[in-house]
Chains A and B, each alone.
Chain A
Amino acid sequence: MSNLLEVRDLSKRFTSAGGPFRKARSMHAVNGVTFDLPKGRVIGVVGESGCGKSTLARLILRLIEPSGGGVNFDGDDLLAKTPGQMRKLRARMQMVFQDPYSAIDPRYTLTRAVAEPFEVQGVTPAKPMAEEVADLLEMVGLNPGLATSYPHQISGGQKQRVGIARALALRPSLLVLDEPTASLDVSVQAQIIGLLEDLRAELGLTYLFISHDLSLVKYFCDEILVMYLGRVVEALPDTSAPARHPYTRTLMESTFEPDPKKRRLIAPLEGEVPSPFDLPPGCAFADRCPKASALCRSETPELSADNGHAVACHHPI
């Protein structure tokens, strides 16, 4: 199976300019992320808010310029593309956004919103536009009768479906899902996840699924990347693999169990996430880690693989 997406040592450093009354500061939002996404697979990226997941998604789609590293999409080196070439390529790599409430222009009817991808790319659909729009709405489970509605007239779940229809209009091969259900009710979440599963099977899509919800990622994805403060700390080759990094372990133990007989006391993580502007030397997780040693506080552990299961920890479980 060939890789649709190859991400190599991708990094983003944000800097704020200094002035007479403040120091220049910089933070590594994403630090040396490397992974392969084979065609047809679903990789989940999981981590606390602020760990750089959303920045990673935008770096991969080159919505923000990386400070270092590379992205190879279906054989194309994205960072070598001119803005014009990049705009053409975007048709094949789409994104579903976290906030469906502001993801559609409030002055656009659903028809106009769903037809916009064709307009922007200068593509004439095979069928008449009205039919194409109706088909797309139907594909994401919306009544084509809603075509003349405005975004404020439909619900959050319906808006997210419109977002998905827009993303799929040009038949992309890669879909980056940036917490597509985080701002929706739980019942609506399930519908959207179901829809995404159906669409993947139907259209042969490849997903990069970003979420803070580990149980959702375990359900939805084939592989899981766990991020902590901009770094991938563990790459689980499948969802049943036991956690080897203490951070992943804590994340897994803090998900709720629906079966009351299996419920156990959830041990909360000690301490605070360190400020990304002022990272301690060594492992960023050391201050919150029960297994931390002197080595952890002086040397940053590298991601090293063992049987396809990579972990960045001096004392893996």
Chain B
Amino acid sequence: MAVRSLDAFARMSIGRAFSSGVGLVAGGFLVLLVLVALLAPWIAPFDYAAQNLMNANAAPAWPHLLGTDEFGRDVLSRVIHGARTSLSVSATAIAISMTAGMALGAAAGYFGGFFERAVMTVVDLTWSFPDILIALIFVAIIGPGLTSTTFAIAIAYLAQFTRLTRAQIVRLKRETFIEATINLGAKPTHILLRHLMPNAIAPVIVVGMLAIGDGIVLEATLGFFGLGAQPPTPSWGAMMSSGTAQLFLSPWVIIFPGVAVAVTVIAVNLFGDELIRALDIRDRLRGA
């Protein structure tokens, strides 16, 4: 019963987010992008790692629609596989960050006192480190690669989710229905899991959705500096990095992954805004 009503609510809201023109275009693009990422090996016209030095730096033309890079690899295939890397790294990182942030924020907001101050101080500390520095720490510990990138992104956004969840819980805790339920004899776990979390989750999910866009940019940045995906794994950031060398000789190598990042992030943000509107939670996203 509970799950069904929650589902109905979520379905309704997502449906409403798609109902505007902007929401339809942005949301449609994102659905398409996820499909492309999932089906990359079947969609990509060429092997993303196959080199052909005879045909290096070829301009966009049939059969290499987006041209080839300095090793003669097909740029389109690499952008398609790059979507897979970017989306999965960003989504995994945000999922980790959101789960940890919700747990920490909910516990801090619910129990309060010294525990709350300790958690919030540590979480705020992570916010004071630049994202790149966090990534460097992970690279130093476990070496460059997607795992480091994932953890770096997860930690970079931890504070945001923790603070937002805590703010929701603190606000909800004062509602009469919480006191009424305590007075029925409910345990703290019941209050937290059946009342506080379900009412706090909507804005956190929307911020998570928006953070996936930021995570893609951060993943691209780390890839650009060589801290993320290692060759030959295609990543939008790493592709742009290698493209800088031939910026004037073969601009398509840097332009197409750049366009992919830009369009994806714009789509995520536009759809996120539509979701905020559909869920009517704009005021709840402030002050966190």
Residue numbers of A with Cβ under 8 A of B are 61, 63, 86-91, 94-95, 97-99, 102-107, 109, 111-112, 116-117, 120-121, 163, 166, 170
Contacts and interface: CB of A to CB of B under 8 A. Distances in A.
Contact of A104 (B177, B184, B187): B177
Given A102-B175, A105-B195, A107-B9, A87 B180 contact: no
Interface in B176-193: 176-177, 179-187, 190
B1 A112 contact: yes
B177 A103 contact: yes
A97 B180 CA distance: 8
Contacts of B185: 86-91, 120-121
Contacts of A63: 179, 182-183
9 contacts: A91-B184, A95-B180, A103-B177, A105-B181, A107-B198, A111-B1, A116-B181, A120-B190, A121-B185
Contacts of A117: 184
A116 B5 contact: no
B181 A61 contact: no
B52 interface: no
Nearest to A99: B176
A109 to B, nearest CB: 7
Contact of B186 (A61, A98, A109, A120): A120
B216 to A, nearest CB: 32
Residue among A61, A88, A105 with most chain B CB within 10 A: A105
Residue among B2, B176, B180, B186 with most chain A CB within 10 A: B180
B176 A97 contact: yes
B183 A107 contact: no
Given A107-B198, A109-B5, A120-B190, A102 B177 contact: yes
Contact of A87 (B176, B177, B179, B186): B186
Nearest to B183: A95
Contacts of A106: 199
Contacts of B195: 105
A91 B185 CA distance: 7
Interface string B138-182: 000000000000000000000000000000000000011101111
Residue among A87, A89, A109, A112 with most chain B CB within 10 A: A87
Nearest to A88: B185
A105 B176 CA distance: 9
B30 to A, nearest CB: 27
B199 A107 contact: yes
B6 interface: yes
Contacts of B182: 63
Given A107-B5, A107-B6, A90 B184 contact: yes
Contacts of B183: 61, 63, 90, 94-95
B186 A102 contact: no
A206 B199 CA distance: 34
Nearest to B179: A63
Contact of A120 (B6, B175, B177, B181): B181
Nearest to B2: A112
A166 to B, nearest CB: 7
Nearest to A118: B184
- The 8 lowest CB-CB distance pairs between A and B, nearest first, are A90-B185, A87-B185, A102-B176, A120-B186, A103-B176, A105-B177, A120-B184, A117-B184
B184 A166 contact: yes
A95 B182 CA distance: 11
Residue among B182, B184, B187, B198 with most chain A CB within 10 A: B184
Contacts of A166: 180, 184
Contacts of B186: 87, 116, 120
A89 B195 CA distance: 22
Residue among A97, A107, A109, A170 with most chain B CB within 10 A: A107
A163 B177 CA distance: 9
Contacts of A104: 177, 180
Interface in B211-226: none
A103 B180 CA distance: 7
A170 B6 CA distance: 27
A87 B187 contact: yes
Given A94-B183, A99-B176, 5 more contacts: A63-B179, A95-B180, A102-B175, A105-B199, A120-B181
A134 to B, nearest CB: 15
Contacts of A163: 180
Nearest to A121: B185
Interface in B194-213: 195, 198-199
Contacts of B199: 105-107
A111 to B, nearest CB: 8
Contacts of B6: 107
A235 to B, nearest CB: 26
A63 B199 CA distance: 22
Nearest to B174: A102
A91 B182 CA distance: 11
A8 B180 CA distance: 25
A128 to B, nearest CB: 14
Contacts of A87: 185-187
